[in-house]
Amino acid sequence: MLRTQIIVGLCVLLALVAGVSAQERQRTTDEIARLIDLASPGSTVVIPAGTYEGNLRIEKAIVLDGKGLVIIDGLGKGSVVEIVVGNVTLRGMTIRNSGSTVDQEPAGVRAFDGPVIIENNRFEDVYFGIDLRPAADSIIRNNVVIGKDLKIGRRGDGIRLWWSHNTIVEDNTIDAARDMVFWYSEDLTVARNVVTNSRYGLHFMYSHNTTIQGNQLTANSVGIYLMYSNNIDLVGNSIINNRGTSGYGIGLKDCDAITVENNTLLANRVGMYIDNSPSSVDSFGIIKGNKIAFNEIGMLSTPITHDNVITNNSFIENEEQVTVHGRGQLMLNEFSADGIGNFWSNYSGFDQDNDGIGDFPHEPRSLFRTLLARQPNLRIFLHSPAQQAIELTARAFPELSPKPMFIDHSPLTRPPELNLLATSQQSSRAPMVAFSAGLLFISVIGGWLIAHQPRLPVLTNSDLAQSVFI
């Protein structure tokens, strides 16, 4: 009898659990819509924990808070959340599984009006992540966006702004998207975002008066690319291992009044690419205090590039430090200012008075590099005996030696200290600490093994004599 009661009780309990689970699975976004309908404009709605299926359309100014316990699943159809009014805040949710049709461009969240605040959310398996068009004066902060598993050209953008002026985009993490793109949006602040495994880390078109600061762009096709945008400050960004077809760390095309300062450009195909920037006769650019190292090309410019002041940068062990796209020189740019030039790891001069400034100008001349600019296929002979023979011929016959590509009148003999932002320093500290701890551990283990290995016997002179005469 007792056994039967226990079995019946277990069956009832399982049925209740199954009923609760079924009820949770059947929750839809209609429940969230009803909560919004019952709330007053401007109030805060805390959504009960759970998974809600379907699409949500927000037509009331409201704060919608999931407290990190809410999942909205779009079931692979359309945009998961659409915002059609301003003064909406969306926070603390996981938003996933949008549609993926190219013609509709579905998104995790799409806002048609602003301002909106989208913060502390996680977007998974979404075609576009966050799409503002238009939604001025908005804030996109501390979100994680992971795109769909598609080929890179087929993906949607992680974050896209269209005509959304005076917007702040900060502390977001984007992975496996197409671009993070800003079109016709002015007075932006784009700071401390991390973009990996995408096409363009940050892409700007006609986005004037923008600050791009402290972002980390790694393993994309291109790091930062600016087109037709003026009054831009690129400060303290870390741009590493972007090696797509173009592979630019920073690309500037037809931009005026650009400041590129204290950035780190490492192991890209091209550290910095400059195409007719500045484009106006009365404009200028400042390239200052950057670390440009271990790229295939440190700086690549078109021959019409002019009026850039390039000073206090470190060009370290790039295969080509600076080169021109095609034929030409860069004599219309200044490679020193106020007696401060740049550090060149291949500088062959001296510093007899030890003031940190080379005694002779840095005037790079290379017959092979000149030929390489005309015939890129010659790159196969880079660092080969063929290159050495060509350079030796140029030195033996000065009439073959080309004109210098540029002149740095005050080359630095010591690399300047790079003033990175605190966020970049903190982000890089943990890996270095782990690496140092690993080396220390290996050293300790190695020392212990050496100390405890069997020792060879010490032979005396008599032992040696006996071994000789045996």
Q: 94 and 165 share a domain? A: yes
Q: 233 and 167 share a domain? A: no
The whole-number pLDDT of residue 425 equals 39
First vs last C-alpha separation in the chain? 94
341/310 Cα distance (integer angstroms): 8
67/50 Cα distance (integer angstroms): 11
> Is 153 part of a structural domain of the chain?
yes
> Is 390 part of a structural domain of the chain?
no
Model pLDDT for residues 427-460, shown as the tens digit of each residue: 444 454 454 445 445 544 544 444 455 544 544 5
Q: Which residue has the tokens 């976004």?
A: 29
Q: 77 and 160 share a domain? A: yes
Tally of domains in the chain? 2
> Is 454 part of a structural domain of the chain?
no
The whole-number pLDDT of residue 403 equals 87
> Is 79 part of a structural domain of the chain?
yes
The answer for residues whose C-beta is within 8 angstroms of residue 335's C-beta and 6 or more apart is 310, 311, 341, 342, 362, 406, 407, 408, 409
Q: 277 and 413 share a domain? A: yes
Q: 205 and 341 share a domain? A: yes
Asked if the peptide bond before residue 411 counts as cis, ω within 30 degrees of 0, the response is: no
The structure's pTM equals 0.83
The whole-number pLDDT of residue 393 equals 85
Q: 241 and 169 share a domain? A: no
Question: Contact 131/118 with Cβ under 8 angstroms?
Answer: no
The whole-number pLDDT of residue 242 equals 98
- In the listed set 177, 212, 247, which residue is the last one of a domain according to the structure? 177
List the chain residues with pLDDT less than 50.
8, 11-12, 15, 17-23, 420-430, 432-433, 435-437, 439-440, 443-444, 446-451, 455-456, 458-459, 461, 464-470
440/64 Cα distance (integer angstroms): 49
The whole-number pLDDT of residue 446 equals 47
> Is 461 part of a structural domain of the chain?
no
Q: 141 and 277 share a domain? A: no
Q: 243 and 157 share a domain? A: no
The whole-number pLDDT of residue 327 equals 76
Q: 207 and 340 share a domain? A: yes
Question: Contact 324/373 with Cβ under 8 angstroms?
Answer: yes
| Alpha-carbon radius of gyration of the chain | 30
Q: 312 and 204 share a domain? A: yes
| CATH number where 161 lies | 2.160.20.10
Q: 173 and 203 share a domain? A: no
144/153 Cα distance (integer angstroms): 21
The count of C-alpha atoms lying within 13 angstroms of the C-alpha of 184, restricted to the half-sphere facing its C-beta, is 6
Q: How far is CA 19 from CA 14, 23, 327, 384, 421, in A?
A: 8, 6, 75, 73, 53
> Is 370 part of a structural domain of the chain?
no
Tokens at 318, concatenated: 């790039």
* Residues of the domain holding 52: 24-177
Q: How distant is the alpha carbon of residue 317 from its chain centre? A: 22
Question: Contact 187/209 with Cβ under 8 angstroms?
Answer: yes
> Is 339 part of a structural domain of the chain?
yes
Q: Which residues pair with 169 in a beta bridge?
A: 140, 190
**Residue 346 CB burial class (10 angstroms; 0-12, 13-18, ≥19):** exposed
Q: 263 and 412 share a domain? A: yes
The whole-number pLDDT of residue 326 equals 76
Residue 266's identity, in one-letter code, is L
> Is 427 part of a structural domain of the chain?
no
Residue by residue, what is the 3-state secondary structure of the chain?
A: CHHHHHHHHHHHHHHHHHHHHHHHHCCEHHHHHHHHHHCCCCCEEECCCEEEECCEEECCCCEEEEEEEEEEECCCCCCCEEECCCCEEEEEEEEECCCCCCCCCCEEEEECCCCEEEECCEEEEECEEEEECCCCCCEEECCEEEECCCCHHHCCCCEEEECCCCCEEECCEEECCCEEEEECCCCCEEECCEEECCCEEEEEECCCCEEEECCEEECCCEEEEEECCCCEEEECCEEECCCCCCCEEEEEECCCCEEEECCEEECCCEEEEEECCCCCCCCCEEEECCEEECCCEEEEECCCCCCEEEECCEEECCCEEEEECCCCCCCCCECCECCECCEECCCCCCCCCCCCECCCCECCCCHHHHHHHHCHHHHHHCCCHHHHHHHHHHHHCHHHCCCCCCCECCCECCCCCCCCCHHHHHHHHHHHHHHHHHHHHHHHHHHHHHHHCCCCCCCCHHHHHHHHHC
